[in-house]
Amino acid sequence: MTYWRLHYHLVFSTLNRLPTLTPEREKLFYTILYRKAKELEVIIHAVGNVEDHVHLVLSIPPKLSVADCVRHLKGASAHAINLMPGNTEKFAWQRGYGALSIGDRSLTTVMEYAAKQKERHRENRVLAVYERDDEE
């Protein structure tokens, strides 16, 4: 068995950063996210979101690249959301993502940051380095 400790903070956004991750879609997103992560053997430590982007704190096994992990998570969730009964508006994720590696000592702090996204955005207590998902 291989020993690994590969933690990441991932951020990805809805297409054009539109507020399309509604509460109904959010619920399905979380269901699909956890199902797909289990299938990929990815460990989810924390997830948080607002209407236009998502934060994930994950441990990704070395057999899977970060890019492939993101591709699978975004693809499976967008596909499921678009198949929701009564869904009339196409849902899509924006191209690209933000990925930061996390050491063991920072893991708990970053998990708390990700999990409290709604609160942090409401109170305007976001950290720019953790919000980036493009090269700006």
Q: Which of 7, 94, 118, 75 is nearest to 126 (CA)?
A: 118
Q: Evaluate whether residue 1 is within a structural domain.
A: no
Q: Evaluate whether residue 124 is within a structural domain.
A: yes
**Bridge-based pairing state of the strands 98-102 and 7-13:** antiparallel
Which residues form the domain of 68? 7-131
Q: Evaluate whether residue 78 is within a structural domain.
A: yes
Q: Evaluate whether residue 71 is within a structural domain.
A: yes
Q: How many domains does the chain have?
A: 1
CA distance linking residue 47 with residue 40, whole number of Å: 17
Does the pLDDT value for residue 134 go beyond 80? no
Does the pLDDT value for residue 14 go beyond 90? yes
Q: Evaluate whether residue 65 is within a structural domain.
A: yes
- 28-81 pLDDT, tens digit per residue, is 999 999 999 999 999 999 999 999 999 999 999 999 999 999 999 999 999 999
Global confidence as pTM: 0.91
